Chain A
Amino acid sequence: MTSTLQISRLTKRFDTVEALGDVSLALEQGKRVALLGHNGAGKSTMMKIVLGLIPFDSGSVSVCGAAPGSAEARAQVAYLPENASFHPALTGEEQIRYYLALRGQDPKLAMGLLEKVGLAHAARRRIGGYSKGMRQRVGLAQTLIGRPRLLVLDEPTSGLDPVSRRDFYDLLDGLAAAGTAILLSSHVLTEVEARTDRIVILSGGRLVAEGTLAALRGQAALPVVVLITPAAGEEAAIAQAFPEAVCTGDGRLRLSCEQARKLPLLSQIAALGAQVADLDVIPPSLEDIYSHFSRRDGQ
Protein backbone atom coordinates (compact mmCIF):
# COMPACT_ATOMS: atom_id res chain seq x y z
CA MET A 1 0.00 0.00 0.00
CA THR A 2 1.40 3.39 -0.93
CA SER A 3 1.59 6.03 1.75
CA THR A 4 -0.57 9.12 1.60
CA LEU A 5 2.27 11.06 3.16
CA GLN A 6 5.89 10.04 2.83
CA ILE A 7 8.61 12.07 4.51
CA SER A 8 12.21 10.92 4.36
CA ARG A 9 15.29 12.49 5.91
CA LEU A 10 13.65 15.90 6.03
CA THR A 11 15.87 18.75 7.20
CA LYS A 12 14.91 22.38 7.59
CA ARG A 13 17.03 25.23 8.90
CA PHE A 14 16.03 28.76 9.85
CA ASP A 15 19.30 30.64 9.49
CA THR A 16 21.54 28.76 11.90
CA VAL A 17 18.82 27.03 13.89
CA GLU A 18 17.94 23.53 12.80
CA ALA A 19 14.15 23.30 13.03
CA LEU A 20 13.94 19.76 11.69
CA GLY A 21 16.80 17.27 11.36
CA ASP A 22 16.66 14.03 9.42
CA VAL A 23 12.99 13.33 10.11
CA SER A 24 11.37 10.38 8.35
CA LEU A 25 7.70 9.47 8.59
CA ALA A 26 5.16 7.53 6.58
CA LEU A 27 1.42 7.91 6.95
CA GLU A 28 -0.82 5.33 5.29
CA GLN A 29 -4.39 5.94 4.26
CA GLY A 30 -6.95 5.72 7.01
CA LYS A 31 -4.31 6.04 9.75
CA ARG A 32 -4.29 8.68 12.48
CA VAL A 33 -0.92 9.85 13.71
CA ALA A 34 -0.43 12.20 16.62
CA LEU A 35 2.56 14.50 16.59
CA LEU A 36 3.77 15.39 20.07
CA GLY A 37 6.48 17.73 21.18
CA HIS A 38 7.27 20.86 23.15
CA ASN A 39 6.70 24.29 21.70
CA GLY A 40 9.47 24.75 19.18
CA ALA A 41 9.99 21.01 18.72
CA GLY A 42 9.26 21.40 15.01
CA LYS A 43 5.64 20.23 14.81
CA SER A 44 4.24 23.31 13.08
CA THR A 45 7.29 23.58 10.84
CA MET A 46 6.80 20.01 9.70
CA MET A 47 3.13 20.63 9.01
CA LYS A 48 3.87 23.77 7.02
CA ILE A 49 6.38 21.87 4.92
CA VAL A 50 3.86 19.11 4.25
CA LEU A 51 1.38 21.79 3.16
CA GLY A 52 3.95 23.42 0.90
CA LEU A 53 3.76 26.73 2.77
CA ILE A 54 7.49 26.85 3.46
CA PRO A 55 10.40 25.25 1.56
CA PHE A 56 12.78 22.70 3.09
CA ASP A 57 16.52 22.26 2.81
CA SER A 58 17.03 18.57 2.16
CA GLY A 59 15.26 15.24 2.18
CA SER A 60 12.09 14.44 0.32
CA VAL A 61 8.38 14.89 0.95
CA SER A 62 5.63 13.32 -1.10
CA VAL A 63 1.99 14.23 -0.48
CA CYS A 64 -0.53 11.97 -2.23
CA GLY A 65 2.23 11.17 -4.71
CA ALA A 66 2.85 14.82 -5.56
CA ALA A 67 5.19 17.57 -4.41
CA PRO A 68 3.96 19.44 -1.30
CA GLY A 69 2.15 22.64 -2.26
CA SER A 70 1.61 21.55 -5.87
CA ALA A 71 -1.88 22.04 -7.26
CA GLU A 72 -2.38 18.27 -7.23
CA ALA A 73 -1.38 17.99 -3.57
CA ARG A 74 -3.41 21.01 -2.49
CA ALA A 75 -6.53 19.60 -4.09
CA GLN A 76 -6.31 16.56 -1.78
CA VAL A 77 -5.08 18.06 1.48
CA ALA A 78 -7.06 19.95 4.10
CA TYR A 79 -5.49 21.98 6.89
CA LEU A 80 -6.59 23.35 10.20
CA PRO A 81 -4.12 25.94 11.50
CA GLU A 82 -3.47 26.47 15.17
CA ASN A 83 -5.92 29.19 16.31
CA ALA A 84 -7.85 29.22 13.06
CA SER A 85 -8.86 32.75 12.13
CA PHE A 86 -11.12 34.17 9.47
CA HIS A 87 -12.26 37.54 8.24
CA PRO A 88 -14.38 39.02 11.04
CA ALA A 89 -16.74 40.76 8.63
CA LEU A 90 -17.93 37.51 7.05
CA THR A 91 -20.51 35.14 8.52
CA GLY A 92 -19.62 31.52 9.15
CA GLU A 93 -21.77 30.46 6.24
CA GLU A 94 -20.21 32.96 3.82
CA GLN A 95 -16.75 31.86 4.83
CA ILE A 96 -17.51 28.19 4.25
CA ARG A 97 -19.26 28.99 0.96
CA TYR A 98 -16.09 30.71 -0.17
CA TYR A 99 -13.92 27.74 0.77
CA LEU A 100 -16.33 25.39 -1.00
CA ALA A 101 -16.06 27.50 -4.16
CA LEU A 102 -12.27 27.43 -3.95
CA ARG A 103 -12.38 23.63 -3.87
CA GLY A 104 -14.74 23.61 -6.82
CA GLN A 105 -17.67 22.36 -4.74
CA ASP A 106 -21.24 23.57 -4.54
CA PRO A 107 -21.44 26.48 -2.05
CA LYS A 108 -24.89 25.23 -1.00
CA LEU A 109 -23.18 22.49 1.02
CA ALA A 110 -22.06 25.09 3.57
CA MET A 111 -24.97 24.73 5.95
CA GLY A 112 -24.62 20.94 6.07
CA LEU A 113 -20.94 21.26 7.01
CA LEU A 114 -21.70 23.80 9.72
CA GLU A 115 -24.39 21.49 11.09
CA LYS A 116 -21.84 18.68 11.31
CA VAL A 117 -19.66 20.78 13.61
CA GLY A 118 -22.63 22.07 15.60
CA LEU A 119 -22.51 25.63 14.35
CA ALA A 120 -25.69 25.84 12.29
CA HIS A 121 -27.34 28.15 14.82
CA ALA A 122 -24.60 30.79 14.38
CA ALA A 123 -24.06 30.33 10.64
CA ARG A 124 -25.56 33.70 9.75
CA ARG A 125 -23.71 35.67 12.42
CA ARG A 126 -20.42 37.40 11.72
CA ILE A 127 -17.28 35.52 12.68
CA GLY A 128 -16.09 38.69 14.45
CA GLY A 129 -18.57 37.87 17.22
CA TYR A 130 -17.62 34.19 17.54
CA SER A 131 -15.84 32.67 20.53
CA LYS A 132 -12.53 30.88 20.07
CA GLY A 133 -14.27 27.52 20.16
CA MET A 134 -16.73 28.63 17.47
CA ARG A 135 -13.93 29.83 15.21
CA GLN A 136 -12.23 26.48 15.73
CA ARG A 137 -15.44 24.81 14.55
CA VAL A 138 -15.50 26.92 11.39
CA GLY A 139 -11.93 25.70 10.89
CA LEU A 140 -13.04 22.11 11.37
CA ALA A 141 -15.96 22.55 8.98
CA GLN A 142 -13.66 23.68 6.20
CA THR A 143 -11.41 20.64 6.63
CA LEU A 144 -14.40 18.41 5.88
CA ILE A 145 -14.88 19.88 2.40
CA GLY A 146 -14.65 17.38 -0.43
CA ARG A 147 -13.26 14.26 1.27
CA PRO A 148 -9.58 15.17 1.58
CA ARG A 149 -7.05 12.31 1.38
CA LEU A 150 -4.82 13.92 3.98
CA LEU A 151 -5.86 16.04 6.94
CA VAL A 152 -3.26 18.17 8.69
CA LEU A 153 -4.52 19.46 12.03
CA ASP A 154 -2.42 21.76 14.20
CA GLU A 155 -3.70 21.63 17.80
CA PRO A 156 -7.22 20.94 16.55
CA THR A 157 -8.98 20.67 19.89
CA SER A 158 -7.56 23.76 21.56
CA GLY A 159 -10.46 25.94 22.62
CA LEU A 160 -12.99 23.11 22.49
CA ASP A 161 -14.81 21.89 25.56
CA PRO A 162 -14.58 18.17 26.48
CA VAL A 163 -17.88 17.25 24.84
CA SER A 164 -16.93 19.01 21.61
CA ARG A 165 -13.58 17.26 21.71
CA ARG A 166 -15.28 13.92 21.80
CA ASP A 167 -17.55 14.91 18.89
CA PHE A 168 -14.51 16.10 17.03
CA TYR A 169 -12.68 12.81 17.44
CA ASP A 170 -15.84 11.00 16.35
CA LEU A 171 -15.72 13.05 13.15
CA LEU A 172 -12.08 12.07 12.67
CA ASP A 173 -12.89 8.40 13.21
CA GLY A 174 -15.48 8.63 10.45
CA LEU A 175 -13.01 10.28 8.08
CA ALA A 176 -10.26 7.78 8.87
CA ALA A 177 -12.64 4.89 8.31
CA ALA A 178 -13.37 6.36 4.88
CA GLY A 179 -9.64 6.33 4.08
CA THR A 180 -8.42 9.81 5.04
CA ALA A 181 -4.95 9.88 6.57
CA ILE A 182 -4.75 12.22 9.55
CA LEU A 183 -1.73 13.98 11.00
CA LEU A 184 -2.54 15.97 14.11
CA SER A 185 -0.56 17.68 16.80
CA SER A 186 -1.75 18.00 20.35
CA HIS A 187 -0.72 18.87 23.86
CA VAL A 188 -3.53 16.88 25.40
CA LEU A 189 -2.03 13.43 25.70
CA THR A 190 -5.01 11.65 27.16
CA GLU A 191 -7.21 12.36 24.15
CA VAL A 192 -4.44 11.37 21.75
CA GLU A 193 -4.05 8.08 23.59
CA ALA A 194 -7.43 6.67 22.77
CA ARG A 195 -8.02 8.28 19.41
CA THR A 196 -4.90 7.75 17.33
CA ASP A 197 -3.17 4.77 15.81
CA ARG A 198 0.37 5.94 16.26
CA ILE A 199 2.31 8.53 18.21
CA VAL A 200 5.33 10.43 16.94
CA ILE A 201 7.40 12.45 19.38
CA LEU A 202 9.56 15.30 18.13
CA SER A 203 12.18 16.92 20.29
CA GLY A 204 14.48 19.71 19.19
CA GLY A 205 13.63 19.00 15.55
CA ARG A 206 14.48 15.29 15.81
CA LEU A 207 12.11 12.36 15.73
CA VAL A 208 12.85 10.69 19.07
CA ALA A 209 10.10 8.08 19.24
CA GLU A 210 7.47 6.55 17.02
CA GLY A 211 4.98 3.75 17.54
CA THR A 212 1.77 2.72 19.21
CA LEU A 213 1.35 3.79 22.79
CA ALA A 214 1.92 0.21 24.01
CA ALA A 215 5.16 -0.01 22.05
CA LEU A 216 6.38 3.32 23.41
CA ARG A 217 5.48 2.24 26.91
CA GLY A 218 7.59 -0.90 26.54
CA GLN A 219 10.44 0.99 24.94
CA ALA A 220 10.54 3.58 27.69
CA ALA A 221 10.57 0.85 30.40
CA LEU A 222 9.59 3.34 33.04
CA PRO A 223 9.15 2.08 36.62
CA VAL A 224 5.75 1.11 37.96
CA VAL A 225 4.68 2.74 41.20
CA VAL A 226 3.11 0.59 43.91
CA LEU A 227 1.30 2.21 46.82
CA ILE A 228 0.73 0.14 49.94
CA THR A 229 -1.73 1.13 52.65
CA PRO A 230 -0.72 -0.78 55.82
CA ALA A 231 -3.37 -2.14 58.18
CA ALA A 232 -3.72 -0.27 61.48
CA GLY A 233 -0.68 -0.78 63.68
CA GLU A 234 1.31 -2.61 60.97
CA GLU A 235 3.15 0.42 59.56
CA ALA A 236 6.48 -0.42 61.16
CA ALA A 237 6.34 -4.06 60.11
CA ILE A 238 5.72 -3.22 56.49
CA ALA A 239 8.34 -0.49 56.44
CA GLN A 240 10.75 -3.11 57.68
CA ALA A 241 9.72 -5.58 54.97
CA PHE A 242 10.36 -2.97 52.26
CA PRO A 243 13.27 -0.84 53.41
CA GLU A 244 13.43 0.94 50.00
CA ALA A 245 9.83 2.21 50.38
CA VAL A 246 9.20 5.91 50.86
CA CYS A 247 6.57 7.16 53.23
CA THR A 248 4.08 9.38 51.35
CA GLY A 249 2.84 11.38 54.32
CA ASP A 250 -0.72 10.07 54.29
CA GLY A 251 0.40 6.84 55.96
CA ARG A 252 0.97 4.99 52.69
CA LEU A 253 4.23 3.55 51.43
CA ARG A 254 5.47 4.22 47.91
CA LEU A 255 7.50 1.64 46.02
CA SER A 256 8.97 2.03 42.58
CA CYS A 257 9.93 -1.01 40.52
CA GLU A 258 10.80 -2.06 36.97
CA GLN A 259 8.12 -3.69 34.84
CA ALA A 260 9.88 -7.07 35.09
CA ARG A 261 9.93 -6.96 38.88
CA LYS A 262 6.28 -6.02 39.19
CA LEU A 263 4.76 -9.51 39.65
CA PRO A 264 7.38 -10.83 42.11
CA LEU A 265 6.88 -7.68 44.14
CA LEU A 266 3.12 -8.08 44.12
CA SER A 267 3.33 -11.67 45.33
CA GLN A 268 5.72 -10.53 48.05
CA ILE A 269 3.14 -7.97 49.15
CA ALA A 270 0.32 -10.49 48.92
CA ALA A 271 2.30 -12.81 51.23
CA LEU A 272 2.01 -10.21 53.98
CA GLY A 273 -1.68 -11.02 54.16
CA ALA A 274 -3.74 -9.03 56.65
CA GLN A 275 -0.89 -6.63 57.36
CA VAL A 276 -1.80 -4.85 54.10
CA ALA A 277 -5.10 -2.92 54.07
CA ASP A 278 -4.99 -1.79 50.42
CA LEU A 279 -2.78 -1.78 47.37
CA ASP A 280 -2.60 0.48 44.25
CA VAL A 281 -0.53 -0.21 41.15
CA ILE A 282 0.08 2.88 39.01
CA PRO A 283 1.56 2.32 35.55
CA PRO A 284 3.69 5.14 34.06
CA SER A 285 1.37 7.86 32.77
CA LEU A 286 1.39 9.20 29.25
CA GLU A 287 2.98 12.35 30.56
CA ASP A 288 5.81 10.28 32.06
CA ILE A 289 6.40 8.47 28.76
CA TYR A 290 6.22 11.70 26.83
CA SER A 291 8.73 13.50 29.03
CA HIS A 292 10.96 10.44 29.01
CA PHE A 293 11.29 10.64 25.23
CA SER A 294 11.24 14.37 24.75
CA ARG A 295 13.99 14.91 27.35
CA ARG A 296 16.17 12.01 26.32
CA ASP A 297 18.61 14.14 24.42
CA GLY A 298 19.48 16.18 27.45
CA GLN A 299 16.97 19.01 27.15
Chain B
Amino acid sequence: MNRVLATALCEFRVAFRNRWVVIATAMMALFALVLAAAGAAPTGDIGVDRLSVVVASLTSLSVYLVPLLALLMSFDAVAGEVERGTLPLLLTYPVSRFQILLGKLLAHIAILGLATGLGYGLAALAAILADRGALAGLPSLWRLVWSSVLLGATFLGTGYALSALARRTSSAAGLAIGLWLVVVVLYDLALLALIVSDAGGPLTTRVLPVALLSNPADAFRIFNLSAAEAVAAAGGIGGAAAAIPLWQSAASILLWPAAALSLAWAAFRKVTP
Protein backbone atom coordinates (compact mmCIF):
# COMPACT_ATOMS: atom_id res chain seq x y z
CA MET B 1 0.00 0.00 0.00
CA ASN B 2 2.91 2.34 0.77
CA ARG B 3 4.19 1.84 -2.75
CA VAL B 4 0.81 2.82 -4.16
CA LEU B 5 0.70 5.92 -1.99
CA ALA B 6 4.28 6.86 -2.87
CA THR B 7 3.45 6.52 -6.57
CA ALA B 8 0.30 8.59 -6.08
CA LEU B 9 2.21 11.32 -4.26
CA CYS B 10 4.84 11.42 -6.99
CA GLU B 11 2.20 11.60 -9.74
CA PHE B 12 0.26 14.29 -7.93
CA ARG B 13 3.42 16.33 -7.61
CA VAL B 14 4.15 15.98 -11.31
CA ALA B 15 0.56 16.92 -12.23
CA PHE B 16 0.76 19.92 -9.93
CA ARG B 17 4.04 21.09 -11.47
CA ASN B 18 2.60 20.60 -14.94
CA ARG B 19 -0.29 22.87 -13.89
CA TRP B 20 -2.87 20.13 -14.37
CA VAL B 21 -4.37 20.71 -10.95
CA VAL B 22 -4.81 24.42 -11.61
CA ILE B 23 -6.08 23.94 -15.18
CA ALA B 24 -8.63 21.29 -14.18
CA THR B 25 -9.91 23.26 -11.21
CA ALA B 26 -10.10 26.56 -13.06
CA MET B 27 -11.88 24.97 -16.01
CA MET B 28 -14.45 23.28 -13.80
CA ALA B 29 -15.03 26.41 -11.68
CA LEU B 30 -15.40 28.66 -14.71
CA PHE B 31 -17.91 26.47 -16.52
CA ALA B 32 -19.83 25.72 -13.34
CA LEU B 33 -20.18 29.42 -12.51
CA VAL B 34 -21.33 30.26 -16.03
CA LEU B 35 -23.93 27.51 -15.89
CA ALA B 36 -25.07 28.59 -12.42
CA ALA B 37 -25.61 32.12 -13.68
CA ALA B 38 -27.32 31.01 -16.90
CA GLY B 39 -29.48 28.38 -15.22
CA ALA B 40 -30.76 30.77 -12.57
CA ALA B 41 -33.71 32.08 -14.59
CA PRO B 42 -36.31 29.32 -15.06
CA THR B 43 -36.65 27.98 -11.49
CA GLY B 44 -39.95 29.61 -10.68
CA ASP B 45 -41.87 27.73 -13.37
CA ILE B 46 -40.56 24.24 -12.69
CA GLY B 47 -41.12 24.26 -8.97
CA VAL B 48 -37.79 22.76 -7.92
CA ASP B 49 -35.08 24.50 -5.99
CA ARG B 50 -32.42 26.52 -7.72
CA LEU B 51 -29.54 24.15 -6.89
CA SER B 52 -31.28 21.11 -8.36
CA VAL B 53 -31.60 22.95 -11.63
CA VAL B 54 -27.93 23.92 -11.46
CA VAL B 55 -27.08 20.26 -10.79
CA ALA B 56 -29.03 19.23 -13.88
CA SER B 57 -27.01 21.71 -15.97
CA LEU B 58 -23.78 20.64 -14.31
CA THR B 59 -24.58 17.02 -15.14
CA SER B 60 -24.66 17.86 -18.84
CA LEU B 61 -21.40 19.76 -18.42
CA SER B 62 -19.70 16.90 -16.59
CA VAL B 63 -20.64 14.40 -19.27
CA TYR B 64 -18.36 16.29 -21.66
CA LEU B 65 -15.77 17.85 -19.42
CA VAL B 66 -14.92 15.10 -16.93
CA PRO B 67 -14.07 12.44 -19.55
CA LEU B 68 -12.05 15.02 -21.48
CA LEU B 69 -10.03 16.05 -18.42
CA ALA B 70 -9.53 12.42 -17.42
CA LEU B 71 -8.26 11.43 -20.86
CA LEU B 72 -5.98 14.46 -21.05
CA MET B 73 -4.42 13.54 -17.73
CA SER B 74 -4.05 9.84 -18.48
CA PHE B 75 -2.89 9.50 -22.08
CA ASP B 76 0.71 10.15 -21.02
CA ALA B 77 0.70 7.68 -18.13
CA VAL B 78 2.41 4.70 -19.78
CA ALA B 79 3.48 6.08 -23.17
CA GLY B 80 5.20 9.02 -21.45
CA GLU B 81 7.22 6.67 -19.24
CA VAL B 82 8.17 4.64 -22.30
CA GLU B 83 9.23 7.73 -24.27
CA ARG B 84 11.14 9.33 -21.43
CA GLY B 85 12.90 6.02 -20.85
CA THR B 86 11.88 5.90 -17.21
CA LEU B 87 9.85 2.70 -17.46
CA PRO B 88 12.63 0.05 -17.53
CA LEU B 89 14.13 1.34 -14.28
CA LEU B 90 10.74 1.63 -12.60
CA LEU B 91 9.88 -1.95 -13.52
CA THR B 92 13.05 -3.30 -11.90
CA TYR B 93 11.80 -1.97 -8.56
CA PRO B 94 9.85 -4.23 -6.24
CA VAL B 95 6.54 -2.69 -7.25
CA SER B 96 3.93 -4.43 -9.39
CA ARG B 97 2.49 -2.95 -12.54
CA PHE B 98 -0.93 -2.98 -10.92
CA GLN B 99 0.41 -0.95 -8.00
CA ILE B 100 1.92 1.58 -10.42
CA LEU B 101 -1.41 1.98 -12.21
CA LEU B 102 -3.30 2.19 -8.95
CA GLY B 103 -0.96 4.92 -7.71
CA LYS B 104 -1.42 6.96 -10.86
CA LEU B 105 -5.19 6.45 -10.68
CA LEU B 106 -5.30 7.58 -7.08
CA ALA B 107 -3.41 10.80 -7.87
CA HIS B 108 -5.52 11.60 -10.91
CA ILE B 109 -8.75 10.82 -9.05
CA ALA B 110 -7.65 13.19 -6.30
CA ILE B 111 -7.13 15.93 -8.88
CA LEU B 112 -10.51 15.29 -10.50
CA GLY B 113 -12.17 15.22 -7.07
CA LEU B 114 -10.53 18.50 -6.19
CA ALA B 115 -11.53 20.10 -9.49
CA THR B 116 -15.15 18.93 -9.44
CA GLY B 117 -15.53 19.51 -5.71
CA LEU B 118 -14.25 23.08 -5.90
CA GLY B 119 -15.90 23.91 -9.22
CA TYR B 120 -19.33 22.58 -8.33
CA GLY B 121 -18.95 23.87 -4.81
CA LEU B 122 -18.57 27.39 -6.18
CA ALA B 123 -21.66 26.99 -8.34
CA ALA B 124 -23.59 25.66 -5.35
CA LEU B 125 -22.42 28.54 -3.21
CA ALA B 126 -23.63 30.99 -5.83
CA ALA B 127 -27.02 29.27 -6.00
CA ILE B 128 -27.42 29.14 -2.23
CA LEU B 129 -26.44 32.78 -1.81
CA ALA B 130 -29.13 33.75 -4.30
CA ASP B 131 -31.80 31.48 -2.81
CA ARG B 132 -31.75 29.82 0.63
CA GLY B 133 -34.19 27.19 -0.60
CA ALA B 134 -31.41 25.87 -2.78
CA LEU B 135 -30.01 24.03 0.28
CA ALA B 136 -32.54 21.31 -0.54
CA GLY B 137 -30.48 20.47 -3.61
CA LEU B 138 -27.28 19.65 -1.67
CA PRO B 139 -27.75 15.85 -1.75
CA SER B 140 -27.99 15.85 -5.52
CA LEU B 141 -24.86 18.02 -5.69
CA TRP B 142 -22.98 15.53 -3.51
CA ARG B 143 -24.21 12.69 -5.74
CA LEU B 144 -22.99 14.60 -8.78
CA VAL B 145 -19.52 15.04 -7.29
CA TRP B 146 -18.90 11.40 -6.41
CA SER B 147 -20.45 10.08 -9.60
CA SER B 148 -18.29 12.55 -11.57
CA VAL B 149 -15.23 11.10 -9.88
CA LEU B 150 -16.37 7.57 -10.82
CA LEU B 151 -16.96 8.71 -14.39
CA GLY B 152 -13.50 10.24 -14.35
CA ALA B 153 -12.00 7.00 -13.02
CA THR B 154 -13.54 5.11 -15.93
CA PHE B 155 -11.95 7.41 -18.47
CA LEU B 156 -8.67 7.51 -16.57
CA GLY B 157 -8.52 3.72 -16.75
CA THR B 158 -9.34 3.72 -20.45
CA GLY B 159 -6.77 6.47 -20.97
CA TYR B 160 -4.09 4.29 -19.31
CA ALA B 161 -5.13 1.36 -21.49
CA LEU B 162 -4.83 3.49 -24.65
CA SER B 163 -1.52 4.85 -23.41
CA ALA B 164 -0.17 1.33 -22.89
CA LEU B 165 -1.46 0.16 -26.27
CA ALA B 166 -0.09 3.17 -28.17
CA ARG B 167 3.34 3.34 -26.44
CA ARG B 168 3.90 6.78 -28.00
CA THR B 169 2.42 9.87 -26.44
CA SER B 170 1.45 11.41 -29.77
CA SER B 171 -0.62 8.43 -30.87
CA ALA B 172 -1.98 7.96 -27.36
CA ALA B 173 -3.23 11.55 -27.44
CA GLY B 174 -4.89 10.96 -30.80
CA LEU B 175 -6.56 7.79 -29.58
CA ALA B 176 -7.76 9.55 -26.42
CA ILE B 177 -9.40 12.39 -28.33
CA GLY B 178 -10.91 9.89 -30.75
CA LEU B 179 -12.35 7.88 -27.89
CA TRP B 180 -13.83 10.99 -26.31
CA LEU B 181 -15.43 12.01 -29.58
CA VAL B 182 -16.95 8.57 -30.15
CA VAL B 183 -18.13 7.78 -26.63
CA VAL B 184 -19.30 11.22 -25.54
CA VAL B 185 -20.44 12.93 -28.73
CA LEU B 186 -21.04 10.57 -31.65
CA TYR B 187 -22.58 7.79 -29.57
CA ASP B 188 -25.42 10.05 -28.44
CA LEU B 189 -25.96 11.37 -31.94
CA ALA B 190 -26.28 7.80 -33.19
CA LEU B 191 -28.79 7.02 -30.46
CA LEU B 192 -30.80 10.13 -31.32
CA ALA B 193 -30.86 9.01 -34.93
CA LEU B 194 -32.08 5.62 -33.75
CA ILE B 195 -34.92 7.16 -31.75
CA VAL B 196 -35.99 9.37 -34.63
CA SER B 197 -35.98 6.60 -37.22
CA ASP B 198 -37.61 4.03 -34.96
CA ALA B 199 -40.37 6.39 -33.74
CA GLY B 200 -41.09 4.62 -30.47
CA GLY B 201 -40.79 1.10 -31.88
CA PRO B 202 -39.12 -1.96 -30.28
CA LEU B 203 -35.63 -0.57 -30.87
CA THR B 204 -36.37 2.43 -28.68
CA THR B 205 -37.94 0.42 -25.88
CA ARG B 206 -35.50 -2.52 -25.81
CA VAL B 207 -32.18 -1.57 -27.40
CA LEU B 208 -31.99 2.02 -26.24
CA PRO B 209 -31.86 1.34 -22.47
CA VAL B 210 -29.10 -1.24 -22.94
CA ALA B 211 -27.20 1.11 -25.24
CA LEU B 212 -27.46 3.93 -22.71
CA LEU B 213 -26.36 1.76 -19.79
CA SER B 214 -23.37 0.32 -21.63
CA ASN B 215 -21.93 3.78 -22.26
CA PRO B 216 -20.40 5.11 -19.03
CA ALA B 217 -21.10 8.74 -19.93
CA ASP B 218 -24.78 8.06 -20.66
CA ALA B 219 -25.13 5.91 -17.55
CA PHE B 220 -23.70 8.80 -15.53
CA ARG B 221 -26.15 11.26 -17.03
CA ILE B 222 -29.14 8.99 -16.50
CA PHE B 223 -28.12 8.19 -12.95
CA ASN B 224 -27.87 11.82 -11.94
CA LEU B 225 -30.98 12.96 -13.76
CA SER B 226 -33.24 10.18 -12.54
CA ALA B 227 -31.86 10.32 -9.02
CA ALA B 228 -32.49 14.05 -8.87
CA GLU B 229 -35.90 13.63 -10.48
CA ALA B 230 -34.91 16.56 -12.61
CA VAL B 231 -35.53 14.75 -15.85
CA ALA B 232 -38.09 17.29 -16.88
CA ALA B 233 -35.56 20.08 -16.48
CA ALA B 234 -33.04 18.36 -18.68
CA GLY B 235 -35.08 16.94 -21.53
CA GLY B 236 -33.44 15.56 -24.66
CA ILE B 237 -31.97 12.14 -24.47
CA GLY B 238 -32.26 12.38 -20.72
CA GLY B 239 -35.96 11.80 -21.21
CA ALA B 240 -35.17 8.16 -21.75
CA ALA B 241 -33.84 8.04 -18.22
CA ALA B 242 -37.34 7.66 -16.88
CA ALA B 243 -37.55 4.17 -18.33
CA ILE B 244 -34.38 2.90 -16.64
CA PRO B 245 -34.39 1.86 -12.96
CA LEU B 246 -31.97 3.76 -10.76
CA TRP B 247 -30.07 0.64 -9.61
CA GLN B 248 -29.17 -0.21 -13.17
CA SER B 249 -27.53 3.12 -13.93
CA ALA B 250 -25.89 3.06 -10.50
CA ALA B 251 -24.48 -0.41 -11.22
CA SER B 252 -23.15 0.79 -14.57
CA ILE B 253 -21.27 3.76 -13.13
CA LEU B 254 -19.87 1.57 -10.33
CA LEU B 255 -18.76 -1.29 -12.58
CA TRP B 256 -17.20 0.79 -15.34
CA PRO B 257 -14.19 2.06 -13.31
CA ALA B 258 -13.29 -1.50 -12.33
CA ALA B 259 -13.65 -2.68 -15.91
CA ALA B 260 -11.53 0.20 -17.22
CA LEU B 261 -8.80 -0.44 -14.65
CA SER B 262 -8.72 -4.14 -15.55
CA LEU B 263 -8.42 -3.17 -19.20
CA ALA B 264 -5.54 -0.82 -18.38
CA TRP B 265 -3.81 -3.53 -16.36
CA ALA B 266 -4.17 -6.06 -19.15
CA ALA B 267 -2.72 -3.59 -21.66
CA PHE B 268 0.10 -2.47 -19.34
CA ARG B 269 1.16 -6.08 -18.70
CA LYS B 270 1.79 -6.48 -22.41
CA VAL B 271 4.24 -3.56 -22.52
CA THR B 272 7.84 -4.76 -22.81
CA PRO B 273 10.29 -2.03 -21.87
Contact = CB atoms under 8 A, between A and B. Distances in A.
B93 A103 contact: yes
Given A89-B18, A101-B3, A81 B89 contact: yes
A87 B2 contact: no
A48 interface: yes
Contacts of A126: 17
B13 interface: yes
Contact of B272 (A54, A86, A101): A54
Contact of B92 (A74, A87, A90, A107): A74
Contacts of A48: 88, 273
A210 interface: no
B85 A83 contact: yes
Contacts of B196: none
A53 B2 contact: no
A188 interface: no
Contacts of B5: 101
Nearest to B85: A85
Given A94-B10, A101-B3, A84 B89 contact: yes
Interface in A82-118: 83-90, 94, 98-99, 101-104, 107
B268 to A, nearest CB: 14
Nearest to A84: B89
A102 B88 contact: no
B10 A81 contact: no
B93 to A, nearest CB: 5
A75 B95 CA distance: 9
B149 to A, nearest CB: 24
Nearest to A126: B17
Contact of B86 (A53, A78, A87): A87
B2 A81 contact: no
B47 to A, nearest CB: 51
B93 A99 contact: yes
Nearest to B81: A87
Contacts of A52: 92
A77 interface: yes
A181 interface: no
Nearest to B83: A85
A53 B272 contact: yes
B6 A89 contact: no
Contacts of B86: 85-87
Contacts of B88: 48, 51, 53, 79, 81
B3 to A, nearest CB: 5
A79 B89 contact: yes
A80 B86 CA distance: 11
Q: Which 9 A-B pairs give the minimum distances between C-beta atoms?
A: A101-B6, A89-B17, A85-B85, A79-B92, A74-B94, A75-B94, A102-B93, A98-B10, A51-B92
Interface of A: 48, 51-54, 71, 74-75, 77-81, 83-90, 94, 98-99, 101-104, 107, 126, 139, 142
5 contacts: A48-B273, A77-B92, A83-B85, A86-B84, A104-B2
Given A48-B273, A83-B85, A102-B95, 18 more contacts: A51-B92, A53-B272, A54-B273, A74-B93, A78-B92, A81-B88, A85-B86, A86-B84, A86-B86, A89-B13, A89-B14, A90-B10, A90-B13, A90-B17, A101-B3, A103-B94, A104-B3, A139-B89
